[in-house]
Amino acid sequence: MITIKSKEELKGYLGKEIGATEWQTITQEQINDFAKATGDHQWIHIDVEKAKQFSPFRTTIAHGFLTLSLAPMLIDQIFKMEGVKMGVNYGLNKVRFINPVPAGAKVRMRATLANLEDVDNNGVQVTMTLTYELDGADKPACVAESLMRFYL
């Protein structure tokens, strides 16, 4: 975890990796809880026995949106910015779910600062490329371009 003290210091990361998190295990319990919260009860996520028999992955897999929803928690492990009065999720430009995340797998996130621009009310819009790596896999689980606004 790094602490960024100013907008000028943040600009120094433009085009560079800000950091990476520790590995996080995605449990079946998390997957089941996400299914309950979202109403997405597709068997490939929650039916362990059916997944063993019929899934090409031979196990349940996390919802893509579950993986994506880890962003706030994981970004908090990578950096914090001093002097921020309020931060808001401004959305996403692009998301790709490249590789399934099997129950019990480990993921981590790498964040790269792709763009930075001033916005109204003493704010800065930060565009980050978030790469969710899957332990032991050649391809990432997810790559997303995330937009956040920090108001200083």
In DSSP notation, 13-66 reads: TBTSEEEE---EE--HHHHHHHHHHHT---HHHH-HHHHHHH-TTSS-B--HHH
The pTM assigned to this predicted structure is 0.94
- Could you tell me what percent of the chain has a pLDDT over 90? 94
Q: Which helix (H) or strand (E) holds 74?
A: helix 71-78
Length of the chain: 152
Q: Are 22 and 108 in contact (CB under 8 A)?
A: yes
Alpha-carbon torsion (10, 15, 21, 24), positive or negative:
positive
Domains and CATH numbers, the chain: 2-26+62-151 (3.10.129.10)
Q: Using one digit for the tens of pLDDT, what is the confidence trace for 22-55?
A: 999 999 999 999 999 999 999 999 999 999 999 9
pLDDT value at position 122? 85
Phi, psi dihedrals of residue 75, rounded to the nearest 5°: -60, -40
Region 133-152: mean pLDDT is: 96
Quote the pLDDT of residue 120: 87
pLDDT, position 19: 97
Q: For 43-94, what is each residue's pLDDT tens digit?
A: 999 999 999 999 999 999 999 999 999 999 999 999 999 999 999 999 999 9
Task: Report the candidate in 84, 120, 98 with the shortest Cα–Cα distance to residue 6.
Answer: 84
